[in-house]
Chain A
Amino acid sequence: MTTLTKQPGPGLAAGGPQKPRKRGKTAAEFRGTGDLKIALFFIAPAMLGFVLFYLVPSIRGIYLSFTEYSILGDPEWIGTRNYERIAKDPLFWNALGVTTQYVIINIALQTALALGIALLMHRVAKSTLVRGALLMPYLMANVIAALLWFWMLDYQIGIVNQLIEWVGLPRVAFFGSEQWAIPTQALINTWRHMGYTALLIFAGLQAIPNSVYEAASIDGSRAVSTFWRITLPLLRPVLVLVLVVTVIGSFQVFDTVAVTTAGGPVNATRVLQFYIYQRAFNEQDFGYGSALAVILFVILALVAFIQMKFLRGNQSDLD
């Protein structure tokens, strides 16, 4: 969620009326000693981290994607051969398909549920306790959440399957069957993230001025049409931001898969991030893994760009 803190969404910023700049005077005092120095001083730690942990590794990752490298020994330059092999790799295309399936289920459900929860928080659940409780799953470590569900949904001993059998239905191999494995993982992460996503949307809801709603109710608008005609359009910038961030996160699903199905059954949950990990760390093929990672990076950049562009995420209808 680093993206979020670095660039507060335009929707969030567009919230309240612009406050007069009280800082102007203070800034003027600094002007004498040179803003640049101060700015650099404050930027330096973040810059250092960015260069050290993002820029250099990314460049090195791109370099490694053109090599054959097994971590022990030296990388050997092989041009675009990794990319050529990926184009012909059925497991890559399978991973892309599986990941897309996961993202669609995860994002569609998560966004719809989060929107519903956010509306409830806005209108009904004013208690901080209830609002806080919604965030609980998100506070749980990914691996713990995955393991808990893995256990609860177990075919033999899982409580969910005990209940299903008790109702008189046949047991479901949630993680073991190829049809169920991806939807199950998508649902687990929907459960984990919907509270947090709801909170982001809730912030956006609060930024919609009450006067708009008052006007609507004076005009005799009913709740449903108010939602479709006022809430949703005015929420668009926030929703776009939420979508961009959650889609990127969703494409990078890894932990849940790694601690439960590890890519199986067969290749049903061999999502991109897991395939990258498998090739790089299990099979010691860091060149190939890096090339896969570069491709994922490009895909994510494209997806984010398209979402921002076509959903006009950087414009608000409030102005």
Chain B
Amino acid sequence: MMNKKAIGAVAVAAAAALALTACGGGASGGAESAKGEISYWLWDANQLPAYQQCATDFQKANPDIKVKITQTGWDDYWGKITNGMASGTAPDVFTNHLAKYPDFIKTKQLVALDDAVANDKVDLGQYNEGLADLWVGQDGKRYGLPKDWDTIALFYNKKMAADAGLTAEQMGSLSWNPQDGGTYEKAIARLTVDKSGKRGDEPGFDKNNVAIYGLGLESSGGENAGQTQWSFLAATTGWTTTDKNPWGTHYNYDDKRLQDTIAWWASLAEKGYMPKLETTVGANAADNFGAGKAAINSSGSWMIGQYTGYKGINVGIAPTPAGPDGKRASMFNGLADSIWAGTKKKDAAIKWVEYLGSAACQDVVAAKAVVFPAIKGSTDKAAAAFKAKGVDVNAFTQHVKDKTTFMLPITDNAAKVSGIMKPAMDGVVAGKTPASSLTAANEQVNALFAK
């Protein structure tokens, strides 16, 4: 029962004091800045071995520099980085996320890489289209070099699909619309099985006693613009999250096309085809899929390893359904490596970031078959590496080839937006409030930008 306010205030006070001293760092030039130990942080444990290999290779080529890698889980990662920035102990280089970096730019915590890119002639055309531009701030400066990308697809249980009479071709050519859900809903209904063995599209189906849900539910997706939940559907209706991207200043959660999409999606829970939101608190959607409790899960390419790793589950990967206009859509997200403005080893950090952004490192990452590297050639190598492991990743790469991707929305106030949207979206998906209630939440969100 310690006084939490006091603890918080101490942290703030201490952090503020240290922030003053931290400003001294970051001076570039000088031999000291180009050698010694630099720290590098990332959050995904699956990728650690790949980047450790990159660091080893890098140190061999640059004996003056030592790279110390720290992996911290996503939940603690951003708090530690922010506190580190305030207290002067943030890593020299860290894996950055599109939803987070606008705040870092606003508070001047990142090193602009334009001079380095120009001087060292980094070829920005080598990355998959659009990835490099994501990291250019509103001030026109570049704050990261792309390292990887991800898209969305449907992971499905092949045996359940076969039992339901759905072929791989059918699963690969689903269509969707917000009115009746198209063949996507038909497949989901067909794959749903109640405890007496009745399928979701058969008479007598008991929606209150479901053994296998056609579609798994991860969360309401209110925090991350529905990246893996509904963004790939909403986008096919022509809806966009913000007025422009990146750096939009007006959100569109009041749009009928989005609200229709969400209403349709939430209706799946009502129909018994998808678990109710209240039953998913504390549950892990991927593990439920692995336990045979869901037949389809929409998820991102960073989850390939996990979904294909469940023993006894034969996993197929189908592309997201085509929308009313006949085209598919997938959110396109890309990570990058950024340099903290408070680094004392700026030159060494630049070298490391450029190495991470080079084919030499990204090919190493590709070979481990964990994510898709940002460089086009490395992406192909990763696809081949996945194939060698018996995983067909076309459903993910197809979006990039067909240019059916749209960018993760990048705006200021990202954390505050999710603070408002999560409860609002939860309410709709839980069936407590109608989709039209998102209009009120949207007004709150847009008020954040109205200052």
Which of A's residues lie within 8 Å of B, judged by CB?
1-2, 53-54, 56-58, 60-61, 64, 69-73, 150-151, 154-157, 171, 173, 175-178, 245, 248-249, 252, 254, 260-261, 263-267, 270, 273, 276-286, 289-290, 293-294, 296-297
B165 within 8 A of A: no
- Segment among B2-10, B65-73, B398-406 that sits at the interface with chain A: B2-10
- Can you give 9 contacting A-B residue pairs, CB < 8 Å? A71-B15, A71-B83, A72-B109, A151-B282, A260-B281, A266-B423, A281-B79, A282-B415, A294-B5
Q: In the complex the two chains form, is A70's CB within 8 Å of B107's CB?
A: yes
Interface string of B103-122 (1 = CB under 8 A from A): 10001110000000000000
B179 within 8 A of A: no
* B419: chain A residues within 8 A (beta carbon): 278-279, 282-283
Q: In the complex the two chains form, is A176's CB within 8 Å of B279's CB?
A: yes
Q: In the complex the two chains form, is A57's CB within 8 Å of B9's CB?
A: yes
Partner pick for B278 among A71, A177, A252, CB 8 A cutoff:
A177
Q: In the complex the two chains form, is B3's CB within 8 Å of A284's CB?
A: no
Closest to A64 in B: B12
B268 within 8 A of A: no
**Taking A254-B4, A285-B416 as contacts, is the C-beta distance between A261 and B9 under 8 angstroms?**
no
Closest to A56 in B: B13
- Segment among B26-34, B326-334, B367-375, B426-434 that sits at the interface with chain A: B426-434
B283 within 8 A of A: yes
* A284: chain B residues within 8 A (beta carbon): 82, 103, 415
* Smallest CB separation, A151 vs chain B (Å): 8
Candidate in B1, B6, B419, B422 with the most chain A CB atoms within 10 angstroms: B1
Q: In the complex the two chains form, is B13's CB within 8 Å of A154's CB?
A: no
Q: In the complex the two chains form, is B82's CB within 8 Å of A71's CB?
A: yes
Candidate in A1, A254, A267 with the most chain B CB atoms within 10 angstroms: A267
* A266: chain B residues within 8 A (beta carbon): 423, 426-427, 430, 432
Sorted nearest first, the 10 A-B pairs with minimum C-beta distance are A176-B278, A57-B9, A72-B107, A176-B281, A61-B9, A293-B5, A173-B278, A249-B1, A155-B279, A283-B415
Q: With the chains together, A240 CA to B415 CA distance in Å?
A: 42
Known: A61-B12, A265-B430. 19 other contacts (CB 8 A): A56-B13, A58-B5, A60-B12, A60-B13, A69-B12, A70-B103, A72-B82, A72-B108, A72-B109, A156-B288, A173-B281, A252-B1, A252-B4, A254-B4, A264-B423, A265-B281, A266-B427, A293-B4, A293-B8
* Smallest CB separation, B423 vs chain A (Å): 5
Q: In the complex the two chains form, is B279's CB within 8 Å of A156's CB?
A: yes
Interface string of B253-284 (1 = CB under 8 A from A): 00000000000000000000000111111110
B85 within 8 A of A: yes
* Smallest CB separation, A301 vs chain B (Å): 12
**Interface of B, helix, strand, loop or mixed by DSSP:** helix
**Taking A266-B430, A283-B419, A293-B8 as contacts, is the C-beta distance between A72 and B278 under 8 angstroms?**
no
Closest to B425 in A: A266
* A297: chain B residues within 8 A (beta carbon): 5
Which of B's residues lie within 8 Å of A, judged by CB?
1-10, 12-13, 15-16, 19, 79, 82-83, 85-86, 103, 107-109, 276-283, 288, 293, 415-416, 419, 422-423, 426-427, 430, 432
Q: In the complex the two chains form, is B6's CB within 8 Å of A154's CB?
A: no
Q: With the chains together, A16 CA to B172 CA distance in Å?
A: 82
* B422: chain A residues within 8 A (beta carbon): 264
* Smallest CB separation, B271 vs chain A (Å): 18
Q: With the chains together, A297 CA to B86 CA distance in Å?
A: 26
Q: With the chains together, A176 CA to B431 CA distance in Å?
A: 13
**Taking A72-B82, A178-B432, A286-B12 as contacts, is the C-beta distance between A264 and B6 under 8 angstroms?**
no
Partner pick for B280 among A176, A280, A289, CB 8 A cutoff:
A176
Closest to B8 in A: A280
Closest to B79 in A: A281
Q: In the complex the two chains form, is B9's CB within 8 Å of A64's CB?
A: yes
Q: With the chains together, A73 CA to B19 CA distance in Å?
A: 8
* A56: chain B residues within 8 A (beta carbon): 10, 13
Candidate in A155, A245, A296 with the most chain B CB atoms within 10 angstroms: A155
Q: In the complex the two chains form, is A1's CB within 8 Å of B281's CB?
A: no
* A273: chain B residues within 8 A (beta carbon): 4
Q: With the chains together, A198 CA to B1 CA distance in Å?
A: 17
Q: In the complex the two chains form, is B281's CB within 8 Å of A261's CB?
A: yes
Q: In the complex the two chains form, is A71's CB within 8 Å of B423's CB?
A: no
* B279: chain A residues within 8 A (beta carbon): 155-156, 171, 173, 176
* B282: chain A residues within 8 A (beta carbon): 150-151, 154-155, 175-176, 260
Closest to A70 in B: B107
Q: In the complex the two chains form, is A60's CB within 8 Å of B283's CB?
A: no
Q: With the chains together, A245 CA to B3 CA distance in Å?
A: 12
**Taking A264-B426, A265-B277, A266-B423 as contacts, is the C-beta distance between A61 and B82 under 8 angstroms?**
no
Candidate in A156, A261, A267, A277 with the most chain B CB atoms within 10 angstroms: A156
Closest to B278 in A: A176
* B432: chain A residues within 8 A (beta carbon): 178, 266
* Smallest CB separation, A280 vs chain B (Å): 6
Q: With the chains together, A40 CA to B288 CA distance in Å?
A: 62
* Smallest CB separation, B77 vs chain A (Å): 13
Closest to B284 in A: A156
* A156: chain B residues within 8 A (beta carbon): 279, 283, 288, 293
Q: With the chains together, A299 CA to B406 CA distance in Å?
A: 48
Q: With the chains together, A155 CA to B281 CA distance in Å?
A: 8
* Smallest CB separation, A283 vs chain B (Å): 4
Q: With the chains together, A206 CA to B10 CA distance in Å?
A: 40
* A264: chain B residues within 8 A (beta carbon): 281, 422-423, 426
**Taking A282-B415, A283-B419 as contacts, is the C-beta distance between A58 and B6 under 8 angstroms?**
yes
* B278: chain A residues within 8 A (beta carbon): 155, 173, 176-178, 265
Closest to A292 in B: B5
* B277: chain A residues within 8 A (beta carbon): 176, 265
Closest to B281 in A: A176
* B13: chain A residues within 8 A (beta carbon): 56-57, 60
Closest to A282 in B: B415
* A64: chain B residues within 8 A (beta carbon): 9, 12
* Smallest CB separation, B103 vs chain A (Å): 7
Q: With the chains together, A71 CA to B282 CA distance in Å?
A: 31
* B19: chain A residues within 8 A (beta carbon): 72
**Taking A156-B279, A156-B283 as contacts, is the C-beta distance between A267 and B423 under 8 angstroms?**
yes
Partner pick for A265 among B1, B4, B9, B426, CB 8 A cutoff:
B426
* Smallest CB separation, B288 vs chain A (Å): 7
Q: In the complex the two chains form, is B415's CB within 8 Å of A54's CB?
A: no
Q: With the chains together, A261 CA to B278 CA distance in Å?
A: 11
Q: With the chains together, A61 CA to B5 CA distance in Å?
A: 8
Q: In the complex the two chains form, is B12's CB within 8 Å of A248's CB?
A: no
